[in-house]
Structure 1
């Protein structure tokens, strides 16, 4: 509740709704007698000192009648909203309970009702059930129900493939219990938010029905009925419509603002709380590494709430060199890549002592210059090629966009380059592939197409973020071979990110091992078997090979990696390490050993 009320729109909406509810409670007791008082001498008068907004056809004060009508208006709107919500949820949930043919019939009926204009559906229902407050409430409830039914069905269908739903079905749990226990509790939030927004729509709909003479009938009155009675005199005394019209506008605005604000708050409820603060990193004092394609020093990424997934990471990548960045899931590898490419998701912020690409200091460039350098010199290959490629566009168009945007190539030149780049990554029939959509390609072909997209310019650095994770071993080997060939042909540097230390050892020249946001060891790939850090040795030991004793359980690392917001001050691996001592309460710095390894450990030999 506190977050929406900090939003000006949410605060305004909450205030308007609170005022309306208060008036609904105190209106009839305080102004009921004034609203019912007939004065034949002041019939249909305009604004005056005694009646600030005029009187009606019986001389009754319009402000008092509007205040008294608040209770009936809000009460009917609440009833219509509850009716529409309950009936809509039940209708939308029916396909999950009924056999498939019957469920399809229900879905078709819902689609038909959604396509029908809501107000006409409400008017038709009111005519059938009888004019008056009851008919209007039923009509608005029926008009709201299809929207809730469509939303319920969509949310229910989105959960149909969840593993816990499949497990429940395998255990022969009844459909009704799956719906009430596993589905409805998980879709309750958007339904409740939609209910809050629908309250405003119900209020406006009921007002329209009463204004048209199909809602509340005399002697009862709501805001719509007051507008209906005053409409005949609006051209003579225009003030007679001000009070009910203003009440309708303010109440509708209040409910709409409050519903939208709660919806926005729910959408961002999983965001870290607090204001983003850029990490403070002192500038690097040592001279830049000559000839390095990439050089970052003390790279740090911070999110609100004290969450720091990357902590003082330093990396150097030379031409024609592939650096492997390896570690368990959650160690900060992908966030490091995002920080290098300056695409850290909001509300995270990155800072570094030095960040140089192709010898150019990125921090010293203007935004336009930085985008141009990153767009032309950096290629990123993401983990999920399905998400990296737009499913609605053809592959060739997406590749060509890079050349036309950054290099100013003509469409014909960009298309020819796309075909050539696809051929370079060993995709058969590239001229045909450029005409296809991503879903028409296999997983390995999509991944190679993403690599080809990165090669559409002339990248000096390729960042491959776990590009082989979802592929089988045969396709993994093809992708690794393509990356190696690309680096050898273009002399670009590459940063290869993976949690599979065996793949990294096969492909890379040097390996940096990451744990809890920090690099704990850096060593040549050929020296992997002589790794010194206990975490690196544990990763290697957890990989089975042909000589592994199959009668013994696989080696595992006890415990779990700390969350980015819970990293201790000392060595983060200490509580999982068999070599840990009291000295590990102080964090070791990354130091260079006599044989050229970089190591952050007090006890490793």
Structure 2
């Protein structure tokens, strides 16, 4: 359909006709007229155009029209060969940051930038001189000269794909960098590469004709359009067509390739690369679908000492900066047991998602993860595997026992691979299933997450799923290998409330059926409170309060937690009152102030808050707070009779000026 749409445009139709004509001549001409083009006639040397020889003959009496037609094949083949060389080298150099890592790939990127800045035609002439004369040497020279432009283009395309969630999911599943490149990255950049390679072929053809014209390309007795132009130049005043005819052929062929590339670019909505070429500037077990379950915030099993799934102590995520290291996550403690659901809430930029990525080992250089302890199922994730077998076992552990449900399911799936095949990869890669068994398992999992007609849906692409179905399919992918921990990062974002409930109920089923622990990250306090057993409140990269979810509304003691709750409207919120907000702005991780990071926004801050950073300490059994002045009075933050007073005291005050306290009476000395 898209091809027909392209052909209906004037540019597309013209390009198709010209390119088809050039390729037809390249295939047919040597077969029909190859021998006739070599016939010499010493009685008709350097003849002018005539009915017998429409554009004359050469110095040996050979027909120039036939030679121009026959030369089409060699010219096109060499141009396509040079394009292929440039494309292969460009992909290899462009993929270097992905294959080698940012640190080792940085010199390659710098080298490509230098090569792109160097005029391509001069580089081609230099390489042609070094490699020697001849068609193959010229083909490699032009291909190598065109590689930097392709490399720069590939680097840009790969960088955009490498940050997608489905690439992170592939890394989490333990897939190697080369497999990720071949399986996930290259198919997603194939269309723009093909389009730009088509345009580049026209430039390559012109460049090759130029080298042959200078005597550095095709050598006698072989001939291409460039060599025919060179031979005809000496008689330009006697027989202009001897040089103009192959020149016109070069223009037509170059125009055909360029117009084809332009038509494809418009048809596929792909940007064309500027300055193309030479300065033209374990085994999974199947389970049946489960029935609906009770609310997931009820603990299903008493936690014991031997069912600890995740044990994190002093987690820090560090980003090197010009003015020193920056720690967006600083000193997070987190313990999760089997069948336990733990939520992390906070404003955007508080470090919630980065904490999850750090735990899942999805943080790449130059960022680094530091921790006093980072154990998953008893395995120290900070310890570097010493053998390939140990590294493979580590990948298998993370790929089968840890599932990640990302925020945007559209970017979490590879758009060019069918849904069933993407789910089946988990079972094939880690479970050792055959292709058929893995596909059947994928269909079963899609049905288990309430996707209708799973067999048919498994054959569809991600864009054919609705947002809610994609999110459920993402969860189905996560439980293909029956994980012990599911990290759900904003799984209900941009979903309507009905679909939100379906997704949350599904997480509850995963918890009950598989015994998996759930780490739910969200900015929606109401959602996390409904789903989780415990809630961690994060601000400026730290946990400022930890509390049981059923005590959140009544017993939250950190002013920031209280403000978050007050900012959530409900059915009893008066339509005439403005919504409660938290004054000020979140802290910049690179400029965390001394003392409590929330002090500038807190109505209860004192001079001590501005000077000393509070530690996270236990104030009640099962509750920890990092605050010098925790709220001790019982304040109803749900919309009750005194909701206005609650908002006035917690959600709508101006920031405290530096060096001044504003704690209400009875709170200034609290908990000292």
In structure 2, how many angstroms separate the alpha carbons of the residues matched to 1:343 and 1:7? 23
**Residues 141-179 of structure 1, C-alpha deviations (whole Å, 9 max, x = no match):** x989969x959x87x978xxxxxxxxxxxxxxxxxxxxx
Q: Does 1:326 align with 2:345?
A: yes
Confirm or deny: 8 A CA contact 2:404 2:478 kept in the other structure: yes
Runs of 4+ displaced beyond 4 Å = 4-8, 10-17, 110-113, 119-124, 142-147
Corresponding residue for 1:544? Answer: 569
Q: Does 1:357 align with 2:376?
A: yes
In structure 1, how many angstroms separate the alpha carbons of the residues matched to 2:535 and 2:601? 22
In structure 2, how many angstroms separate the alpha carbons of the residues matched to 1:484 and 1:452? 13
**Residues 315-348 of structure 1, C-alpha deviations (whole Å, 9 max, x = no match):** 1111111100111111111111111110113321
- Residues 12-23 of structure 1 correspond to what in structure 2 (within 5 A)? none
In structure 2, stretches of 5+ residues that fail to align are 1-105, 123-194, 210-224, 230-235, 282-303, 632-672
In structure 1, how many angstroms separate the alpha carbons of the residues matched to 2:382 and 2:197? 57
1:113 Cα deviation (Å)? 9.6
TM-score normalised per structure 2: 0.52
Q: Does 1:459 align with 2:483?
A: yes
Total equivalences in the alignment: 391
In structure 2, how many angstroms separate the alpha carbons of the residues matched to 1:390 and 1:13? 33
- Residues 35-434 of structure 1 correspond to what in structure 2 (within 5 A)? 114=199, 117-118=202-203, 194-195=274-275, 200-202=278-280, 290-305=306-321, 306-364=325-383, 365=385, 366-434=390-458
Confirm or deny: 8 A CA contact 1:5 1:14 kept in the other structure: no
CA 1:339–1:289 in structure 2 vs 1: closer, same or farther (change >3 Å)? farther
CA 1:144–1:567 in structure 2 vs 1: closer, same or farther (change >3 Å)? farther
Q: Does 1:492 align with 2:523?
A: no
Confirm or deny: 8 A CA contact 1:5 1:11 kept in the other structure: no
In structure 1, stretches of 5+ residues that fail to align are 21-109, 159-186, 203-258, 260-287
Which one of the candidate residues 588, 604, 607 is aligned to 1:582?
A: 607
CA 1:574–1:415 in structure 2 vs 1: closer, same or farther (change >3 Å)? same
In structure 2, how many angstroms separate the alpha carbons of the residues matched to 1:11 and 1:322? 49
In structure 1, how many angstroms separate the alpha carbons of the residues matched to 2:575 and 2:596? 33
TM-score normalised per structure 1: 0.57
CA 1:112–1:14 in structure 2 vs 1: closer, same or farther (change >3 Å)? closer
In structure 1, how many angstroms separate the alpha carbons of the residues matched to 2:366 and 2:256? 37
CA 1:589–1:290 in structure 2 vs 1: closer, same or farther (change >3 Å)? farther
Q: Does 1:507 align with 2:531?
A: yes
Corresponding residue for 1:9? Answer: 111
In structure 1, how many angstroms separate the alpha carbons of the residues matched to 2:616 and 2:196? 63
Confirm or deny: 8 A CA contact 2:405 2:487 kept in the other structure: yes
